[in-house]
Structures are given as C-alpha cells and as structure tokens.
Amino acid sequence: MISVQWLLDAVGPSVLSEVCAPGGVSVPVGEVVIAEPHGELELRPGDVVLGVNLTDRRAALRLLSQCALQSAGALLLKAPAAVDAEVTAAASATGVALVQVAQQAGWAQVVSLLRAALDSEGLAESAAGLGMAESGDLFEVADAIAGIIDAPVTIEDRSSRVLAYSTRQECGDAARVATIVGRNVPDEVNAHYRRHGVFRKIARDTRPIFVPAVVEGTKPRLVVPMRAGGDILGSIWAIVPGPVPAERGAAFAAAANAAALHLLRRRAETDRQRLVLTDLVARVLHGKEGAADAARLLGLTAGPWRVIAVDVRCDGADEAEAQRLTVRERLSRFPGSRLHSPAAVIGDVVYGVVDARAVAPASRRHSDWLRELGEATGRATPLVAVGGLAASVPELATSQEQADDTLGLLRTGILTSSQAVHDDVWAKVVLRRAALAASTARTTEIGPLRRLVDHDRVCRTSYVPTLEAWLEEMGDPKATAARLHIHPNTLRHRMRRLQDVVELHLDSPDVRFALLLQLTALRYGTETGPRAKEYHHA
C-alpha cells in the first residue's frame, strides 16, 4: 500500500518533511493533483494535493478546507504557509496530513519525484513476477530481458543513448556494434527509423514493434517502449531473426516494466542528489548559515574562485530546463583538467564555482572555455557572466553578487556581447546601480531635462544626445564634435539653440553632475515612465 509515510521515504527528507499528520502517516494516498491558484479542485479520496506557489495564509487555509471536504490524503506546501501556526492548527483540526516541501526544491522536480515514486510501485508489482524487481544493475536487467526474448538487447533512453546492453552482442550486426561503441545509435540508423515512423509508433504503442531489416547490413529488430504512466522513459531493442511468437512478445513487453522501474528509481535518485547539491551551493553563494560546512562538502577548501552565472534563453519551459542541465553539467567539469566545480540551477540561472587560477580572465584557455560554454546548448547562445575574485568562502557571496550584476548588464542589452567578466565591466555596474537608485527617486522628472526630451521628440532634434556627449567630453568641442561625427561649428550652433529651449547653467559643477546622473538613468533604461523610452528614441 502506498501511504504518506511511503512517499516521504521514497522522495526523501531533503525534499519532503512531515509537519503534522492527525490521522497518522500510514494514510493511503492516490494521485498527484496540482491545485490551480483560482481554480476549483476535483479530488478523489487520498489524492496528494500540491499548493504550487501558494504562500498566502488565507489561500492556504482555503485550499486546506477544500482538501478536507474531499478527503485528500495530504497537502504539500512550502514555507511560510507550511509552517504557519494557523495553517498547522487547521490541518490538525481537519485531519489532513500537512507536508512541507523544501524551499530549494522546484515544483516541477517535486511533481516528477512524486509521480516517479507512485509509478515505480506499480511497476515493481508487475516486474516482481519476472524475478527482476530487486536487481541492482541495469546491465543485469538487460541480461535477464535478453534471456526472455532469446536475443541480444540494448536499453536506450528517449534520445537513443545506450544506458545498458546484454551479453551475446556478437550475434548482432554492424549497427549494433557502432551503437555500443559510441554509446549512441548512429545518426544514419536513427534517420532510417524516423523515416519509417518507428519513433512515432514507440510514442503511441505499448506493444512490441517489429522493425524489418531494410537497411543493408542490418538485422530485424523488436522494440518495446518503456513507460511510466503516460511518460515515455526510453525503449528496449532486441535483434531478432524475424517476427517472434505472440507469447514471447508479450513476455518481452512485460519485462520492459523492470527496466522502467530501474530508470524511474535512478531518475528519482538523481533528482534528490541535485536538490541536495542545489541547497549546498545556495548556502555558499548566499552566505547562509552553515556556508563553511557546505563549502567543505562541496570540496571548496582552497581558493581563489570565481562564480559564473549563466542565463539560458529559449521559449519552451521543457527546453529551457534541458538546456540548463546541459550547462550545469558543462560548468561542473573544466576541460583538460581534473577540476570538478560545484554547479547548480538556482531559480532560472545556472551558477558554478570555478577555480580562478584555471580560468584567469587574461588566459586564452579561459576565453575558449567560456565560448564553448556559451555554445553548450546548441541553440540560442546563453548569457555568461563571471564574478570577481573570491579568495575565501565568505567572499563567494560577493562574487555571486558581481556575477548577477554583470548578468543584468547582459540581459538588458547594455552590453551587446553574450558574455562578460565583472573585472572588465565594473564601471558600468556602478553606473547601473546609480541609475537604479536615481530611478527610484524619479530624478529625470526634476529640472529642465524633460523639456529637452520633449523637444527632441516633437521637433525631431538631437539636443539630448548632444548635451550628453558634451558633458562626457567635459566641454571639449573638438572631442565632442568628433564623437557626434559633426563639425565643431555645428556643435557650437546646437549648444546655442539648446540653450534657447531650456536655460542650463553649464558652468556650475552641480548642474553638470546632476544632468549626467539623469542622463545615465535614462541611458541605462531604469526609468519606468515614458520619458526613458522617449530618450532612447531621440
């Protein structure tokens, strides 16, 4: 029987922890249901309800009441709602088990872990009859399945990567040899299967699919999908001499449950380890309590280091998650060395702590590695920001802040490249921070500058950029004219006409500094009103 306690044990204390269970943790549970913020719940007794992104006390109490009315098995919340005194008291009164979700755990990961746990229990029952449920190694499972189908098999994931293979591969063909040696099905073979609709059948069917040998040098295959619920985990490919009897094909399909069980358990364990790693990295980067112990567990014993922040840019949520994992894996291993760097996805950014001596900004090796990191996803180039030097663990929080500041410059387009190092752009970071502070105080709305912006917009003049160039060149007419690509006499004429529109006491240091501050706020795009947009179009 699947109970609240079984789920807590299966998912693990790093993700789920019991807050209160008035009816005990042996209460049976059913399906996982995500509660929509403003939607109506339709539950069956025992359902596990997830209060995704729910932090408000009143909303938590309302959801708890709905769970009690429909006999839900458990309600999962994050802090502060999960540990709110009024919420816990209500849970005790209504009899609904209340479970806290770890703050660093993404809701998508929690859903994946819960469904994997529920699916694995069903698969375990199905696979137990085959004597393979307790096998600890996927290669042993492959051998057992090969014995059932009497043919050499490979177990592959959804991307045709080989996860395990059985013995007797000498009975295969050249394509199978290339698959095992390269740990991936050759592209030309995959293209053939795609043309003949094999992958469409795998996604749609649950029964074994016979694939004739229509490519020279290959033998027929029998392939069966590995499923957990509605999710395709991969497939098992057996090389057969021809069509197999229905009875043997049915046994082959049943054996796929054993492999699916192992894949689910391995994926769940990987997710748990990733959450633990994320928590450790977050403690170090944010300077949280226990940062020194976390750093020791991560192997950060001797600096200096630099924090790298990577922002993946793509449209779909699933694709973004996959690309973040690709970048995280690339960040965790510095090429050409034995360095293993802690890396984790925190929020929507991938962070890594990299040995600074191996990635010195002046070294060509560093620039090559950053370029390769930027190309890791194979799609839209991610934004890569490198923080300043951290000589000790407490300084990593500063390096992370610097990486975030640098990433902000890349995200807003202030820097037109796709990567930057804080050491090279710190002056722009200072200006952006000053601009943010100026924006909060709405400084561009003070004084005569806004009238000049309005004049440029209505009359299509360019007095604001002219004034900005003149101020930044400290009133040097030749340098200002060269910067604007105009003749010095044209500059002098513009400056006189500008003074006809608004009176500016440019001989005053305070006036010049105030104007530069306002223009910086406008140029860095931190003002929220229409004036900033008008400046950028001027």
User: What pLDDT is attached to residue 470?
Assistant: 92
User: What pLDDT is attached to residue 401?
Assistant: 93
Please check whether the two domains, 126-266 and 291-427, share a CATH topology: no
Domain residue limits, the chain: 4-103, 126-266, 291-427, 441-537
User: What pLDDT is attached to residue 404?
Assistant: 93
Length of the chain equals 538
Q: Which two tokens stand for residue 179?
A: 């698959």
- Assigned CATH for 291-427: 3.30.70.270
Block residue for tokens 């973040």 = 324
Block residue for tokens 């006409």 = 497
Statement: residue 537 has pLDDT above 60: no
Q: Is 520 exposed, middle or buried (0-12, 13-18, 19+ CB in 10 A)?
A: buried
- Per residue, what are the HEC states of 309-348? EEECCCCCHHHHHHHHHHHHHHHHECCCCCCECCEEEECC
What is the mean predicted confidence (pLDDT) over 457-484? 91
Cα–Cα distance for residue pair 127/216, rounded to 1 Å: 36
Nearest-10 crossing angle of helices 422-440, 509-523 = 100
User: What pLDDT is attached to residue 398?
Assistant: 92
Enumerate helices (H) and strands (E) in the chain, giving the number of each: 20, 15
Statement: residue 111 has pLDDT above 60: yes
- Please tell me which residue, 129 or 353, carries the higher pLDDT value: 353
User: What pLDDT is attached to residue 534?
Assistant: 46
Question: DSSP class of residue 95?
Answer: T
What is the mean predicted confidence (pLDDT) over 205-215? 82
- Give the pLDDT confidence of 153-176 residue by residue, as tens digits: 999 888 888 888 888 888 888 888
- Single-letter amino acid code for the residue at 86: E
Beta carbons within 10 angstroms of residue 528's beta carbon: 11
* Range with lowest mean pLDDT among 263-267, 407-411, 442-446: 263-267
Backbone angles phi, psi at 238, to 5 degrees: -115, 135
Q: Is-contact 284 353, C-beta < 8 A?
A: yes
- Give the pLDDT confidence of 223-243 residue by residue, as tens digits: 998 887 667 888 899 999 888
Cα–Cα distance for residue pair 110/84, rounded to 1 Å: 21
The CATH classification of domain 4-103, taken from the options 3.40.1390.20, 3.60.15.10, 3.40.190.10, 3.40.190.80: 3.40.1390.20
User: What pLDDT is attached to residue 489?
Assistant: 92
Q: How confident is the model at residue 321 (pLDDT cuts 50, 70, 90)?
A: confident
Q: How confident is the model at residue 119 (pLDDT cuts 50, 70, 90)?
A: low
Q: How confident is the model at residue 487 (pLDDT cuts 50, 70, 90)?
A: very high
Statement: residue 403 has pLDDT above 90: yes
Q: Which two tokens stand for residue 464?
A: 């604001």
Peptide bond into 245 cis (omega under 30): no
Query: Side-chain half-sphere of 191: how many Cα atoms within 13 Å?
Result: 3
Q: Is-contact 393 350, C-beta < 8 A?
A: no
User: Domain 126-266 class?
Assistant: alpha beta
Cα–Cα distance for residue pair 396/393, rounded to 1 Å: 5
Q: Is-contact 346 278, C-beta < 8 A?
A: yes
Statement: residue 313 has pLDDT above 90: no
Most confident of 192-201, 308-317, 528-537: 192-201
Strand pairing partners for 18? 99
Average pLDDT taken over every residue of the chain: 80
Block residue for tokens 């059932």 = 148
Block residue for tokens 């990433």 = 407
User: What pLDDT is attached to residue 530?
Assistant: 38
User: What pLDDT is attached to residue 337?
Assistant: 44
Nearest-10 crossing angle of helices 107-128, 246-285 = 150
CA distance to 55, 459, 537, per residue, from 481 (Å): 57, 22, 21
- Please tell me which residue, 302 or 349, carries the higher pLDDT value: 349
Question: DSSP class of residue 391?
Answer: S
User: What pLDDT is attached to residue 137?
Assistant: 74
> Which H or E element spans position 306?
strand 305-311
Beta-sheet strands, E only, within 66-208: 74-78, 97-101, 153-157, 162-165
Q: How confident is the model at residue 108 (pLDDT cuts 50, 70, 90)?
A: confident
User: What pLDDT is attached to residue 121?
Assistant: 57
Picking from 208, 212, 288, 315, the residue whose alpha carbon sits closest to that of residue 252 is 208
Q: How confident is the model at residue 529 (pLDDT cuts 50, 70, 90)?
A: very low
Statement: residue 393 has pLDDT above 60: yes
Sheet arrangement for strand 74-78: 16-20, 97-101, 74-78, 48-50, 32-34
Backbone angles phi, psi at 176, to 5 degrees: -70, -40
Q: How confident is the model at residue 120 (pLDDT cuts 50, 70, 90)?
A: low
Cα–Cα distance for residue pair 174/169, rounded to 1 Å: 10
